[in-house]
Structure 1
Amino acid sequence: MMQRLLLLAALVAAPLIALRADAPHVYAIRGARIVTASGAPIEAGTIVVRGGVIDAVGASTAVPSDALVIEGAGLTVYPGLIDLGNTRAAEEPAQPAPEARTTAELERWKRGQLLKPQARAADVVKVDDVELTRLAAAGVTSVLALPWGDVISGQSALVNVAAPPDEPQIGNIVEPRRGLIVVRPAVALHVSFPGRPRAGGNAYPESLMGVIAFVRQAFLDAQHYSVARTEGARTEGRTDGARRLQPSERSSERLPLQDDPVLEAMQPAIDRKMPVGMHA
């Protein structure tokens, strides 16, 4: 059965194989008790992993001649676990508050720190991180990398804790490794409600009630942006005989819609195409 690295079996209590450029690409775990994702356990079976993907699994699976064999007698192999709330994978340093000359400048900066739906954990996730690689020793092969920050912090990503070995790059520009571990770049939009946001400065919001009001207003703004954008697209398109709205009937004429990357990034959540994770 073909299974992606998301279900890569982790061998409990056995030494981990170091990921290195000269490591073999075929492994066989032989004679172990195999707990499958569905179905009854296999009391003594073999798993063949080829190029980071489970190629075969079963009680009578043959060991390829080019495989590095791991003797699993007396041990248990199970599908990789997923940590659904990891802040290490996409951790970023906190931004110090600027020397603002006015309260408006400080509030504008703080708004940018607390309202970051466009931030993607997939863009900053750590590759070959020692702490993440150690999770494999506990059977955790994938994590939901949470975006760093408070309030509307951004979009999480499903990533593997360890990248496969590098392929030889002869005559080619070396490709980035981040894409090797990202399984799904955008999983959910995350919202938290801290009593006092970590983003410093004596600017709104400074309390839990202020944070709740801030989040509510952000989603209302995103909804208004969606309505204005849809209305603008409808009135600027072909009418095909339908009556075109008059300027007095069109909010986009009274208040021209300005491109806003922040509110634009919230549209998948507004359209119910992306779940929203609330952290109390």
Structure 2
Amino acid sequence: MNKRIVLLTGASSGIGKELARQLAQRGDFPLLVARNMCSLHSLKKELGQCDIFSCDVTDQEQVQNLVDEIINEFGRVDVLINNAGYGRFGGILDISIEDYIGMIDTNYLGAVRLTRSLLPHMLEGGGGRIVNIASVAGLTGIPNLPGYVASKFALIGFSESLKLEYSPKIQVGVLCPGPVYTPFFGGEDPARLFPSPIARQLIDAQTVARHAVRLIDRPRIKVIPSTLNLFMKVRNLVPGFYMWMTKKIYDRFKEEQATWTEDSYRPVINSTER
């Protein structure tokens, strides 16, 4: 096959679905992976030139079988995009230990499993590119997202280690978007989940997908939108001031939340495949 073969996880909805569309539009051949095969079949009918696979990235046997099947059928994978993930919204004491474990297992170890299973084939074939969809939450602590934050910090650290060990044969990109308007929010108004300075940075899945596709050609760590990139630069330059400022913003937001009625605010967001 002359087309670039791109393996994409979490392809059934949200960012993953938009990524699949943009990959197909630019002439790549997407291999779409998710647990929801019904959604994948619909997406395949829409895109035409692609293939679909069912896999739970928390299951090592399924991941290895997936990679074996793809290598046997296609002979190679040129690009891996680790996008599968989910989140639970709630304070440190509000979400269960099972939620912490689940987010680490999917958001972090899911990417590790797939990378480790595919990496030997990439190296044998002369190299490849890996793009991990992380989050701004992997660069800074965020109240009410402790498990998600931890999983994305781990993913970014793994990505940097991967680059240091295997570049230039393996090029690694990491995309760190701010809040994205997808089913990840469970239909909740983001203005009720984040303070207004953060909620104003809301971006759509199409924008995230566009930046992710660009990272294939120019792999690096990228924060979007640009305003949040500036926030992260402030964090790195003056971390004490950044933490003080962030604490003030969230304390004020907590006071605002206390005035809301139960009917107008739901504190926990249902998890969803991204």
Interval containing the TM-score (normalised by the shorter chain):
under 0.3
Larger Rg: 1
Give 1 or 2: higher helix fraction.
2
TM-score (norm 2): 0.25
TM-score (norm 1): 0.25
More contact order relative to length (CA 8 Å, sep ≥ 6)? 2
Give 1 or 2: higher strand fraction.
1
